[in-house]
Amino acid sequence: MKYLVIADIHANIEAFEAVLDKASSIGYDRLVFLGDVVGYGANPEECIMMLKSRMSYGVAGNHDRAIIDDSELSFFNEIAREAIIWTRNKLKNSPHLNFLKSLPYTQEIEPGITITHSSISAPEYWDYILSPYEAQIEFESAEFAVMLFGHTHVPGGFEYIGQEVIPIDDYTIHLDSSRRYILNPGSVGQPRDGDNRASFAILDTDKKVFQIYRVHYSFEEQQRKIKEAGLPLQLATRLEIGR
């Protein structure tokens, strides 16, 4: 099985379309979504529609939950909160809200492979897995072979060998059945690793490979839309610098 693994689209339709085009040229069987289809960008409805028609498995991100749950707003800084409120108004009375409500916190897509947006240990608190220490908590909290996550907007992950957690920053990750993995495809719509190209991955369970890809897209067009929508200027600026 070949899974297209995507996360953190953030209402960036230009990036999402570029990823889907590239992934189609590579080939895949099912699309796995790791949360945050909305927030930050100017095309929430279009991105939800495109995702709904293609997604096989998916989980909620913190921005997705914040659209439908007021209590989630306390997790956000001022700029992110402003984007959430703008998105709420954009989606007011939209039938697509039911899609956001339907997304679970975690899901097992096949035995041994679990997906989440932020963590398995406490998915509703939206913790970041950025260090071996944080990854260790996840490895010890559940019995998975592979955990796929988003939220950090940075591709890569961690492998667990015995009791040791080792960071992974390679784009081609060969999966060893004697090891366990926490893997991130990076962000489709708002990369934060200094590379402004959209990021995604293909998980090939037959070949046991997690391959990360980057693709150029028209970030200038999404910047224009963000500015015209009256969203915070920083949300446009960061698309160019990948931070």
User: Per-residue pLDDT tens for 190-220?
Assistant: 999 999 999 999 999 999 999 999 999 999 9
pLDDT bucket at 27, cuts 50 / 70 / 90: very high
pLDDT in tens, 89-147: 999 888 889 999 999 999 999 999 999 999 999 999 999 999 999 999 999 999 999 99
Q: What average pLDDT does the structure give for the chain? A: 96
Q: Structural domains in the chain?
A: 2-241 (3.60.21.10)
> Does residue 219 contact residue 236 with C-beta atoms inside 8 Å?
no
Q: Range with the lowest mean pLDDT among 23-27, 55-59, 73-77, 104-108?
A: 73-77
Residues forming beta bridges with residue 165, ordered by sequence position: 160
Q: Tell me the C-alpha distance between 46 and 119, whole Å.
A: 27
Report phi then psi at 217, rounded to 5. -150, 170
Q: Which residues contact 224 (CB under 8 A, 6 or more apart)?
A: none
> Residue type for 232, please?
P
pLDDT bucket at 73, cuts 50 / 70 / 90: confident
For the cut 90, the answer to whether the pLDDT of residue 72 exceeds it is no
Query: Percent of the chain at pLDDT above 90?
Result: 94
* Structure confidence at residue 93 (pLDDT): 85
Tokens of 225: 């839309």
